[in-house]
């Protein structure tokens, strides 16, 4: 059995992955939303489900909220509820993609009244952050156009800058603005923040507390995502990840399901760039579980991140550097692939048990009866928000 060194175990012990509250609600595609018995009916129940993931893995101590999906009367109360369940509230995500006023844009809109409304929504999110103790305001914009000629591309970048500046200036000490990019959808011709370069340009113009979010599902097929990871770390601007996996578009599938090797390569660049367990680089999931059970889906995801982190930590970096320096292409590739092909699952199971955790969190959760209990108690679940 492969053994993991104390140094590697120390890194793994510090690993923390934030869960999205919306992963616990029902979600689906534009064709159908399948509901699951026991789906949370409010943010309190979503947090209770997220706390289960942490209880079985010790990997997920925080939960991200999406506003208005997770709007509550008292965020202090929600915070206490989370703490009582052993987790904390994390990133606050804004939402300017479900309001009729935003048909032609929000922060980029031609009409100052609509831009003001979208900025005010972000001010509300910052107020929430003060109550929840959150550090990060994460902004993903569904803005763009469908037809060439429909929009003034440059004017929209200028207005985006002005709007982001106003939001950034409102942040409290220690709070950050995190700008997420996505190459298409819902707009099909142009998107106002389509790529890491645009996100970088926009956040660089704001200041040190504005950084980029890299959602692994938001690139054109074939994109070398680990290169982007390297570059953003090199520039000191990689603020967070939204981890998920995809086969075709923004599929939001379980992390590591579609392409475990890509996840390995990404995590290797994170480690190489000093981004692992670095407070400035938040690891988050952004997933939807359309047909599978949601809590086990999240457990599987955090375990996949942990497993691939362990494998990436196994890379013999000295041997790799020597092979790279010597121009030994095949040896360099062998060193990387040896680590990727190492089965760390038995070692991780043993290590979990040594820390009082279940060796197999998936099986332990299934045996707990939690899902049957919530199915009985909770009637009438809410959607994650896409259809709400």
Q: For residues 93 and 301, which CB has a smaller minimum distance to ligand PSV in the complex?
A: 93
Question: What's the min distance (Å) between Cβ of 386 and ligand PSV?
Answer: 7
Q: For residues 84 and 387, which CB has a smaller minimum distance to ligand PSV in the complex?
A: 387
If one counts every other C-beta atom within 10 angstroms of the C-beta of residue 355, the result is 9
Write the DSSP string, 214-235.
EETTSS-TT--HHHHHHHHHHT
Q: Using CA of residue 13, residue 259, residue 219, residue 246, what is the dihedral sign?
A: negative
Q: How far apart are CA 388 and CA 128, in angstroms?
A: 21
User: Could you tell me whether strands 210-215 and 176-180 are parallel, antiparallel, or unpaired per DSSP bridges?
Assistant: parallel
Q: Is 18 in the site for Mn ion (CB under 5 A)?
A: no
Say which entry of ligand PSV, Mn ion, none residue 49 contacts (CB below 5 to 8 A, set by partner kind).
none
Q: For residues 93 and 374, which CB has a smaller minimum distance to Mn ion in the complex?
A: 93
Q: Which stretch binds Mn ion (CB under 5 A): 44-52, 80-88, 244-252, 268-276?
A: 244-252
Q: What is the 8-class DSSP label of residue 381?
A: P
Determine the distance from the C-alpha atom of residue 107 to the mean position of all C-alpha atoms in its chain, rounded to a whole number.
Answer: 22
SS3 199: helix
**Backbone torsions φ then ψ of 359, nearest 5 degrees:** -60, -40
Burial of 189 (0-12, 13-18, 19+ CB in 10 A): middle
Q: For residues 226 and 242, which CB has a smaller minimum distance to ligand PSV in the complex?
A: 242
Q: For residues 222 and 369, which CB has a smaller minimum distance to Mn ion in the complex?
A: 222
Say which entry of ligand PSV, Mn ion, none residue 241 contacts (CB below 5 to 8 A, set by partner kind).
none
SS3 385: coil
Question: What's the min distance (Å) between Cβ of 125 and Mn ion?
Answer: 16
Say which entry of ligand PSV, Mn ion, none residue 56 contacts (CB below 5 to 8 A, set by partner kind).
none
Q: Which residues bind ligand PSV (CB under 6 A)?
A: 22, 93, 140, 180, 182, 215, 242, 250, 286
Question: What's the min distance (Å) between Cβ of 330 and Mn ion?
Answer: 37
Say which entry of Mn ion, ligand PSV, none residue 307 contacts (CB below 5 to 8 A, set by partner kind).
none
SS3 345: helix
Closest CA to 385 of 142, 169, 218, 117: 142
Determine the distance from the C-alpha atom of residue 149 to the mean position of all C-alpha atoms in its chain, rounded to a whole number.
Answer: 33
Question: What's the min distance (Å) between Cβ of 283 and Mn ion?
Answer: 13
Say which entry of Mn ion, ligand PSV, none residue 22 contacts (CB below 5 to 8 A, set by partner kind).
ligand PSV
Say which entry of Mn ion, ligand PSV, none residue 45 contacts (CB below 5 to 8 A, set by partner kind).
none
Closest CA to 312 of 348, 281, 269: 269
- List the structure tokens of 99: 């309001």
Q: Which of 18, 45, 192, 250 binds Mn ion (CB under 5 A)?
A: 250
Residues in contact with Mn ion, shown as a per-residue x/- string from 204 to 243 under the rule CB under 5 A? -----------x--------------------------x-
Q: For residues 40 and 361, which CB has a smaller minimum distance to ligand PSV in the complex?
A: 40
If one counts every other C-beta atom within 10 angstroms of the C-beta of residue 222, the result is 5
Question: What's the min distance (Å) between Cβ of 162 and ligand PSV?
Answer: 22
Q: For residues 65 and 313, which CB has a smaller minimum distance to ligand PSV in the complex?
A: 65
SS3 48: helix
Contact 301, 24 (CB under 8 A): no
Q: For residues 244 and 374, which CB has a smaller minimum distance to ligand PSV in the complex?
A: 244
Question: What's the min distance (Å) between Cβ of 263 and Mn ion?
Answer: 16
Q: For residues 136 and 286, which CB has a smaller minimum distance to Mn ion in the complex?
A: 286
Question: What's the min distance (Å) between Cβ of 239 and ligand PSV?
Answer: 13
Q: For residues 21 and 320, which CB has a smaller minimum distance to ligand PSV in the complex?
A: 21
Helix (H) or strand (E) holding 47: helix 43-57
Site for Mn ion in 84-113 (CB under 5 A): none
User: Could you tell me whether strands 144-145 and 190-191 are parallel, antiparallel, or unpaired per DSSP bridges?
Assistant: antiparallel
Q: Which of 61, 286, 298, 300 binds Mn ion (CB under 5 A)?
A: 286
Write the DSSP string, 21-42.
GGGGSB-B-SS-B---TT--SS
Q: Please count the residues of this chain forming the interface with Mn ion, following the rule CB under 5 A.
A: 4
At CA 163, angle to CA 159 and CA 169, rounded to 5? Answer: 145
User: What residues make contact with Mn ion under the rule CB under 5 A?
Assistant: 215, 242, 250, 286
């Amino acid at each position: 059995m492969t053994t993991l060194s104390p140094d590697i175990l120390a890194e793994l012990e510090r690993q923390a992955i934030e869960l999205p509250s919306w992963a616990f609600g029902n979600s689906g595609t534009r064709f159908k939303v399948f509901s699951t018995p026991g789906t949370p009916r409010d943010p309190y129940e979503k947090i209770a489900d997220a706390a289960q993931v942490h209880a079985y893995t010790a990997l997920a101590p925080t939960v991200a909220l999406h506003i208005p999906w997770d709007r509550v009367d008292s965020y202090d109360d929600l915070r206490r509820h989370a703490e009582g369940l052993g987790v904390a509230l994390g990133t606050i995500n804004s939402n300017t993609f479900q309001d009729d006023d935003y048909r032609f844009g929000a922060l980029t809109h031609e009409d100052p009244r609509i831009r003001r409304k979208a900025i005010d929504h972000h001010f509300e999110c910052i107020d929430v952050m003060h109550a929840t103790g959150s550090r990060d305001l994460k902004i993903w914009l569904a803005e763009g156009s469908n037809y060439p000629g429909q929009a003034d591309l440059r004017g929209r970048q200028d207005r985006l800058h002005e709007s982001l500046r106003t939001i950034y200036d409102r942040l409290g000490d220690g709070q950050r603005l995190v700008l997420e990019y996505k190459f298409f959808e819902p707009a099909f011709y142009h998107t106002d923040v389509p790529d890491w370069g645009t996100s970088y340009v926009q956040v660089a113009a704001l200041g040190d507390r504005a950084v980029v979010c890299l959602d692994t599902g938001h690139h054109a097929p074939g994109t070398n995502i680990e290169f982007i990871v390297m570059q953003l770390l090199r520039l000191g601007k990689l603020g967070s990840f939204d981890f998920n996996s995809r086969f075709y578009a923004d599929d939001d599938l379980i992390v590591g399901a579609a392409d475990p090797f890509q996840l390995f390569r990404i995590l290797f660049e994170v480690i190489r760039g000093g981004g692992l367990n670095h407070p400035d680089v938040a690891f988050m999931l952004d997933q939807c579980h359309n047909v599978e059970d949601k809590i086990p889906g999240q457990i599987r995801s955090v375990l996949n991140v942990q497993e691939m982190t362990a494998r990436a930590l196994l890379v013999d970096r000295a041997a790799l550097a020597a092979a790279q320096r010597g121009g030994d292409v095949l040896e360099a590739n062998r060193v990387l692939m040896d680590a990727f092909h190492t089965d760390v699952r038995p070692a991780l199971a043993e290590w979990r048990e040594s820390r009082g955790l279940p060796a197999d969190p998936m099986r332990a959760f299934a045996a707990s009866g939690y899902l049957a209990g919530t199915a009985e108690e909770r009637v009438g679940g809410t959607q994650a928000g896409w259809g709400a």
